[in-house]
Every structure is written in structure tokens, then in C-alpha cells.
């Protein structure tokens, strides 16, 4: 039988929702505009949380470095705000990391779209009766 929804997953989901709201409402720095929290991985002892984020128009970690720096500097403030709304004894230390999977997913979609278009062009160039004559050999 599959394991139940673990405590670390529940804490991660809670942190993801709360951080998304806090970043949107409480941080005034323009470098954190249009940031989305995509996932939170919490350590087994609940002492550390790795917060993955994306930013509209930013596709790689190098371009998001300024945003990651701002978020990591605001981590203490965000953690204290979380402590006010959470019923946990301790709130995990927050470490913000750019989530490159979204950009990679977009790249994969573009590659698949290109392959599909090339395949359609290839098949549209074939004569209509190419399949009809294949069994006549």
C-alpha cells in the first residue's frame, strides 16, 4: 500500500502557498515582480526548505541571480512572517533556487513542435498514392 501524504509534503505545500502570498503582498522590491513559487522541498527534520521559483520572462538561473539574491536576503523576514501564521513549532530555514525545469519544458515543447512540423512537411510532400502502391511489389 502506498505511503500516506507525508508531513514533509504537507509542510512543503503549506510553505508554497504561504510564500507565494507573502512574496506578492509583502516584498516591495521590483526585482521580485512576477515571481511564482513552483515547489518547496523540505528536509526530513523540517529544518531546511528549498524553495523553487520562476519569474516571468526569465529562463535561466544566471538571469534570475538578482531575484534569487533578493529572495535569499528576505528569507529571514519571510520566515518570521510564516511563523506568525503557522502552527509549527519551528519554521524551516528558507533557501531560494531558480526552477529551471519550466524553461527546459518550454524548450522541449518547442523541439517537439519543430519535429511535428517537419514530419508534417515531409508527409505532405509525398505523393498521395505512395501508400497505395507499397503493397504492389
Q: In CATH, what is the architecture of 7-99?
A: 2-Layer Sandwich (3.30)
Query: Is 100:36 a contact under the CB 8 Å cutoff?
Result: no
DSSP-based three-state secondary structure for 33: coil
Query: Is 98:54 a contact under the CB 8 Å cutoff?
Result: yes
Q: Rounded distance, CA 10 to CA 45, Å? A: 13
**Could you report the per-residue pLDDT of 13-71, keeping only the tens digit for each?**
999 999 999 999 999 888 888 999 999 999 999 999 999 999 888 877 788 899 999 99
Q: Rounded distance, CA 67 to CA 55, Å? A: 9
Residue with cell 511563523: 83
∠ CA 39-45-46 to the nearest 5 degrees?
A: 40
Residue ranges of domains in the chain: 7-99, 101-137
Burial tier of 14 (Cβ tally within 10 Å: 0-12, 13-18, 19+): middle
**What's the grid cell of residue 136?**
504492389
Q: Is the pLDDT of residue 4 over 70?
A: no
Q: Rounded distance, CA 16 to CA 88, Å? A: 15
pLDDT attached to residue 6: 86
Give the confidence band of 95 by pLDDT, cuts at 50, 70, 90. Answer: very high
**Quick one: average pLDDT of 111-129?**
80
Q: Of residues 4 and 58, which shows the higher confidence score?
A: 58
Amino acid at each position: 500500500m502506498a505511503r500516506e501524504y507525508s508531513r514533509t509534503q504537507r509542510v512543503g505545500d503549506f510553505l508554497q502557498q504561504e510564500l507565494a502570498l507573502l512574496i506578492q503582498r509583502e516584498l516591495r522590491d521590483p526585482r521580485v515582480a512576477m515571481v511564482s513559487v513552483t515547489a518547496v522541498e523540505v528536509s526530513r527534520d523540517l529544518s531546511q526548505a528549498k524553495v523553487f521559483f520562476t519569474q516571468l520572462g526569465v529562463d535561466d538561473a544566471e538571469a534570475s541571480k538578482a531575484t534569487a539574491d533578493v529572495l535569499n536576503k528576505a528569507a529571514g523576514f519571510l520566515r518570521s512572517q510564516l511563523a506568525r501564521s503557522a502552527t509549527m513549532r519551528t519554521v524551516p530555514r528558507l533557501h531560494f533556487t531558480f526552477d529551471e525545469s519550466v524553461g527546459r519544458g518550454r524548450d522541449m515543447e518547442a523541439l517537439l513542435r519543430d519535429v511535428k512540423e517537419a514530419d508534417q512537411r515531409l508527409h505532405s510532400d509525398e505523393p498521395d498514392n505512395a501508400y497505395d502502391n507499397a503493397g504492389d511489389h
